[in-house]
Amino acid sequence: MKFCINNLLLSISFALDLAEKDFMIDSKNHSKRVAIVSGKIGRQLGLSDEEIFDLVSYALLHDVGIVKLNSEAHIESHEKTGAHCIFGEEIVKDFPFLEKRENIVLYHHETYNGEGTFGKFDHEIHLFSKIIGFSDYFELLHREHLSQEEIVRDITNNIGIKFSPEIANAWLELQKTASFWLDIDDLFIDNVKGDLFPKICRDVDYRQIHETTKIFSPIVDSYSSFTGNHSSGISEKIDIMADFYQFDQEKKYKLLISADMHDIGKLGIPNRILDKNGKLTNEEFSIVKKHTYYTRRILEKIEYFGDIVEWASNHHEKLNGTGYPYGLGAEKIDFCSRLMAVIDIYQALTENRPYRCGMNHVKAMDILMEMVEKNEIDGQVVADVDKVFGGVLVENTSK
Ligand SMILES: [Fe+2]
Ligand SMILES: [Fe+2]
Ligand SMILES: [Fe+2]
Ligand SMILES: [Fe+2]
């Protein structure tokens, strides 16, 4: 099938923006705006479609390292340490860009005069990093609601200090049109983002799509310090169960993609709630419950993801209709959604958390059986999980 990676990345960027909102006070659409400005500068500088595709992809992902910073501290303090640059570089290294480049994310906070985060000078920084760094700086000014004149003045004053003349001059040309400023308005940003991103589709199967989505499970897992290996643990177990049921390869990889993405909506839940020590209040729990709804909204626009959307987003639904977010009953919950639900709970019970050790298989089965008795989860799937993982003290791999 012809699959457009753009679609996947644009959908995920929505999730990343949700996560950034938690760290950047009063910020919306930061990565999208940086991506749009970067793409426009790339065009102005005469980059090819393929180069712009990668540039926009890097720009959408440039602050992805933020999700690994489990702290309430304001973003500026992290930017100084460069921690999010290092984490981000590590995370994106396996993403299937059209061409492999190094240190694009790592050096997105360098400056022309070598006074940036890692003290690199202009000639040591890739053009993409420079464009993204410039666009990031511009976005900060834009976020502060400075007037267009004030922004132009600030940028002009920093030519040869923070920015290379090449990039700043390209931007100075671009910003002369009214459309530049309208394109970055929150109102139109999603339309523009799609237009600007060269559409690159490839003939791929679900196994290859899984190569891309598997980079997102560590992102989701690292967002909360409580769930060090939750999504990857689910992937491993789903893999084993898919073989047990003798599912064909396509179904197996669709399930693995669902496992990678099932909690991606958690990026939209404030870290202080996910990482709270102690019982959540009713209000906090109702916020946590939003995550599967977000997962659905993030994934639903991706082509060929029909089943995946269901299997990834229904994992907190219950057969007796008491689950969330829709309260679906048994007749609306298909087999793979039931499997995901059981494995999600089994993984959560058996994995280590900072405040407790993971349960062994027998204890976890007791809890699953209680849930079967209440008609919350599928008894046959639970029996199969017992058959497959039973007798073995489940090894906890979280660190
Ligand atoms: Fe950054
Ligand atoms: Fe940024
Ligand atoms: Fe969940
Ligand atoms: Fe989960």
- What DSSP string describes 115-169? -STT---GGGS-HHHHHHHHHHHHHHHHHTT--HHHHHHHHHHTBTTTB-HHHHH
How do residues 278-313 score in pLDDT, each as one tens digit? 889 999 999 999 999 999 999 998 989 999 999 999
Interior angle at CA 92, CA 87 and CA 95, nearest 5: 160
In this structure, which ligand is nearest to the CA of 345?
4
Q: Ligand 2: distance of its center to the CA of 59 in Å?
A: 8
Q: Could you identify the residue written with the tokens 């929150």?
A: 186
Element housing 187 (H / E):
none
Q: How far is the CA of 301 from the centre of ligand 1 (A)?
A: 27
pLDDT at res. 395: 47
Angle at 344 between CA 261 and CA 209, to 5 degrees: 25
Rounded CA separation 313/261 (Å): 9
pLDDT attached to residue 353: 81
Query: How close is the Cα of 15 to the center of ligand 2, in Å?
Result: 15
With residues binned 3-state (H G I as helix, E B as strand, rest as coil), the percentages for the chain, rounded to 5, are: 60, 5, 35
CA 224 to chain centre: 13
At 378 the pLDDT is 98
Query: Residue 259 Cα, ligand 4 centroid: separation in angstroms?
Result: 8
Q: At what angle do helices 127-143 and 30-44 cross, to 10 degrees?
A: 130
Angle at 133 between CA 129 and CA 136, to 5 degrees: 140
Output the DSSP codes for 216-237. Answer: HHHHHHHHSTT-TTHHHHHHHH
* Tokens of residue 165, six digits: 């003349």
**pLDDT tens string 182-219:** 999 888 887 776 677 777 888 889 998 998 888 888 88
Q: Which residues of the chain have pLDDT under 70?
A: 21-27, 70-81, 193-194, 391-399
**pTM for the model:** 0.84
Whole-number Å distance, alpha carbon 310 to ligand 3 midpoint, is 13
Cα(219)–Cα(230) distance, rounded to whole angstroms? 11
Dist. CA 224 → ligand 3 center (Å): 12
User: Which ligand gives the minimal distance to the CA of 59?
Assistant: 2
Q: Is the dihedral of CA 208, 209, 215, 220 positive or negative?
A: negative
Q: What's the distance, Cα to Cα, between the start and end of the chain in Å?
A: 38
Q: How far is the CA of 262 from the centre of ligand 4 (A)?
A: 6
- Give all domains of the chain, ordered by start, each with its CATH number: 2-201 (1.10.3210.10), 206-389 (1.10.3210.10)
